[in-house]
């Protein structure tokens, strides 16, 4: 192979890699869209689900009766649970994670990944279930997300998740309940 042929071959490698990467990204996003569209396949038999468009508004006292003290601190006062304290971080069964405040399905087990952070983490959500705002509590801006139905604080979104979204929804376990797919809800 002459020098010109070698240079052409070396230049082709990054172009082929970029093309493969773009194809993999497109295929990965198609998988995410499929998960978001078919999330009901993870519901337990006969499980009824509230709509994110049906607001749930309760008084502070009603929330205190409805939630554990730890869940109240996280969901109503925007606290954070201790890393590694939630058994949901290790949950591996098929099913749906619902908001602990109002039972709105927010994630499926197929959206979960092990981030190694000590909090349940997800690379995408069921569409339309969260609202976001910018949080400056730790000085630098973070994206905080809340349940669209009840306003309960769940966690923060970070841009260090897996492909194809690159997102990590870092969720407090006490803000969730897990409903396994097997059997009735």
Residue 135, pLDDT above cutoff 90: no
* pLDDT at residue 53, rounded to an integer: 94
Residue 10, pLDDT above cutoff 50: no
What pLDDT digit, counting tens, does each position of 47-100 carry? 999 999 999 999 999 999 999 999 999 999 999 999 999 999 999 999 999 999
Domain ranges of the chain: 38-180
* pLDDT at residue 4, rounded to an integer: 63
Bridge partners, residue 98, by sequence: 105, 177
Task: Give CA–CA dist 29/105, Å, rounded.
Answer: 21
Bridge partners, residue 178, by sequence: 97
* pLDDT at residue 133, rounded to an integer: 94
pTM of the model: 0.85
Task: Give CA–CA dist 165/149, Å, rounded.
Answer: 24
Fold classification of 38-180 is 2.170.150
Task: Give CA–CA dist 68/17, Å, rounded.
Answer: 51
* pLDDT at residue 139, rounded to an integer: 75
3-state secondary structure (DSSP) of residue 80 = coil
Active site residues: 170
């Amino acid at each position: 192979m002459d020098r010109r042929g070698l240079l052409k071959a070396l230049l082709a490698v990054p172009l082929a890699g970029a093309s493969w990467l773009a194809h993999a990204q497109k295929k990965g996003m198609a998988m995410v869209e499929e998960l978001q569209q078919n999330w009901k396949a993870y519901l337990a038999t006969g499980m009824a689900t509230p709509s994110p468009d049906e607001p749930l508004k309760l008084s502070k006292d009603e929330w205190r009766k409805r939630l554990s003290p730890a869940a109240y601190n996280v969901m109503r006062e925007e606290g954070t649970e201790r890393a590694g304290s939630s058994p949901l971080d290790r949950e591996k069964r098929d099913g749906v994670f619902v908001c602990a405040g109002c039972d709105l399905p927010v994630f499926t087990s197929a959206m979960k990944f092990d981030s190694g952070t000590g909090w349940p983490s997800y690379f995408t959500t069921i569409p339309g279930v969260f609202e976001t705002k910018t949080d400056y509590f730790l000085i630098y801006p973070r994206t905080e997300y809340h349940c669209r139905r009840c306003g309960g604080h769940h966690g923060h979104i970070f841009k260090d998740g897996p492909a194809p979204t690159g997102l990590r929804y870092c969720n407090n376990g006490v803000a969730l309940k897990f409903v396994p797919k097997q059997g009735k809800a």
